[in-house]
A and B are shown apart, each in its own frame.
Chain A
Amino acid sequence: QSLLTQPPAVSGAPGQRVTISCTGSSSNIGAGFDVHWYQQVPGAAPKLLIFANSNRPSGVPDRFSGSKSGTSASLAITGLQAEDEADYYCQSYDSSLSGSRVFGGGTKLTVL
C-alpha cells in the first residue's frame, strides 16, 4: 500500500481532457514536499513529465499540466492523443521515511 494514492485507471477519447489524482497525507504532500510526475510507456523506462508540482521539463507538450493543493496533487492532460496511453506515477518525499522517495501506485491511462 503506497503512501500516495492514485486511481488504478482512467480513460478518455482523443481530444478530451483527463485528470489523474495523487492523494497523500500530512507527512508528504501536505508537509509541503514537491510532487513530480512520470510517464511510463509500456516496455520503456519512466520519463519525467512534471517537476515541482506544476513545471514542465523542456520538450514536454503544454497539454500536460500539474497542480497541488493541500494533501493532494493532480495531473491534467488536455487534447488527448493516442501516444499518451501509458502509466503515470506521482512521486514525492515522506518525512516518516528517512531519505526516501515515495511513488504513487500508478494510473493506467487508456485512450479510447
Chain B
Amino acid sequence: QVQLVESGGGVVQPGGSLRLSCAASGFTFSAYGMHWVRQAPGKGLEWVTFIRSDGNSKYYADSVQGRFIIARDNSKNTLYLQMNSLRLEDTAVYYCAKDLFCSGGTCYRLIDYWGQGTLVTVSS
C-alpha cells in the first residue's frame, strides 16, 4: 500500500532554514508528481508546491516563492522541501502528498494519498 513518511520538522528561528524529507513506498515513485501541502495550527489546508514526476517542472504558492525549493530523488524514492528565510507564518504541519488518481481507466490530477505530516514551528 502507498506510504508517505515525512521527517525533518522541528523548531527553527525566524530567518532560519530547514529541510523536510518524505520517504515514499508502495507505488512507482518516479511515475508520479508530488506535492507539499501545509496546515497552520487550527487553520485550513494550503497548497505549497508541486513537482512533476521527472523533476523538470516545479510550481510554488506565492507565499513561498523564492524561499522554498522542492526537489526529488527518484533513485531514493524521496521528496524534499528546502525551506529558507522562514517566517512565523510558516509554522504548520507539512504534508507530503501524491498526485494522480486513476479510476475506471481515467486518471485525474488530484491528491489521492497524504502522509501523516511533520510539524514545523518557527519561533524566536
A, B assembled together = yes
Q: Please determine whether A102 and B44 come into contact, CB atoms closer than 8 angstroms.
A: no
Can you list 9 residue pairs at the A/B interface with Cβ under 8 Å?
A38-B111, A40-B45, A46-B95, A46-B111, A57-B101, A89-B45, A91-B111, A101-B47, A102-B47
User: In the complex, which residues of chain A have a beta carbon less than 8 angstroms from the beta carbon of B32?
Assistant: none
Q: Mark A85-110, 1 if CB is under 8 A from B, else 0.
A: 00101010100011111111110000
Contact count band on A: 20 to 34
Residue of B nearest to A106 (CB): B44
Q: Could you tell me the distance between the alpha carbons of A25 and B59 in the complex, rounded to whole angstroms?
A: 22
* Known contacts A34-B108, A45-B116, A46-B114; is-contact A106 B103 (Cβ 8 Å): no
Q: Please determine whether B45 and A46 come into contact, CB atoms closer than 8 angstroms.
A: yes
Q: Mark B24-64, 1 if CB is under 8 A from A, else 0.
A: 00000000000101000000111100100000010101100
* A contact residues vs B (CB 8 Å cutoff): 2, 34, 36, 38, 40, 44-48, 51-52, 55, 57, 87, 89, 91, 93, 97-106
